[in-house]
Amino acid sequence: MAGKKKRKPTVKKPPTKKQAVNLAESQLLAKFGETIKSSEKIIAESNKEEQVSDDNPRKTSEDNYPGVTKQIRQFEEKELPTCTHCKSDDTATVRAGVIGRSITIAASTRKLKLVLNKTAEMGTYFCNNCKKYFD
């Protein structure tokens, strides 16, 4: 017993703001991921059951959000900088807010990254390749 050294308890450093944001996003995805998948199944099944006819035409994104196809086209044509971390050109603009119109646009293009709360540490752009934020 005399030859053993006493170990000091390890002190865990608190995460940086950027690490905390990434952790919060991943926890939300883990928490709601199954709910989203199950709701997508329900929507897909209800769409199969729904009969499209002249009396019951299927609504499009443009019907729900007039002008959304123009906005999607603008995002697709937008020239974005390459990633400063991995030099990929698969990047997106970061926007805060989750509403129907922005969700429709983000689902249609890889050039828009939606976040719940945008902080200065996040940066203006997001790399779809290495999953990092940058300015």
Evaluate whether 116 touches 77 at the Cβ level (below 8 Å). Answer: no
Cα–Cα distance between 108 and 112 in angstroms, integer?
Answer: 9
Percent of the chain with pLDDT over 90: 21
Cα–Cα distance between 17 and 29 in angstroms, integer?
Answer: 18
- List the domain boundaries for the chain: 66-135
pLDDT recorded at residue 91:
93
pLDDT recorded at residue 127:
92
pLDDT recorded at residue 88:
92
Angle between the N-to-C axes of helices 68-77 and 100-108, in degrees from 0 to 180, rounded to the nearest 10: 40
CA proximity to 110, closest of 94, 95, 128: 128
Evaluate whether 115 touches 102 at the Cβ level (below 8 Å). Answer: no
41-98 pLDDT, tens digit per residue, is: 656 665 555 555 555 566 777 788 888 889 889 988 989 999 999 999 999 999 888 7
